[in-house]
Amino acid sequence: MEDKDLTRILEDMVARILAEQNVTKKLSKLYVAFDDLWHHENYSLANQLVSYKERPVYAIVSKPCDEELERRVKEIYPFLMLHSYEDEITFTEHDYLVLPYIPRNDVIHIALGYSQSHLSEVVKRAFTQGTNVYVLPTSIEPLSGKEPSPYQKMVQEYYQRLFELGVQYIDHIRYMN
Tens-digit pLDDT profile for residues 77-113? 765 677 777 777 889 999 999 998 999 999 999 999 9
Better-predicted residue by pLDDT, 125 or 49? 125
Options 3.40.50.720, 3.20.10.10, 1.10.150.170, 3.30.930.10; CATH for 3-175 is 3.40.50.720
Q: How far is residue 7 from each of residues 13, 79, 152, measured CA to CA in Å?
A: 10, 11, 47
User: Per-residue pLDDT averaged across 31-37, rounded?
Assistant: 83
Characterise 88 by phi-psi region: left (phi > 0), alpha (psi -120 to 50), beta (else): left
Q: Which of 112-116, 137-141, 149-153 has the highest mean pLDDT?
A: 149-153
User: Per-residue pLDDT averaged across 59-83, rounded?
Assistant: 72
| Alpha-carbon torsion (76, 79, 83, 89), positive or negative | negative
C-beta of residue 165 within 8 angstroms of C-beta of residue 134: no
C-beta of residue 18 within 8 angstroms of C-beta of residue 48: no
Characterise 86 by phi-psi region: left (phi > 0), alpha (psi -120 to 50), beta (else): alpha
pLDDT at 41 over 80: no
pLDDT at 157 over 80: yes
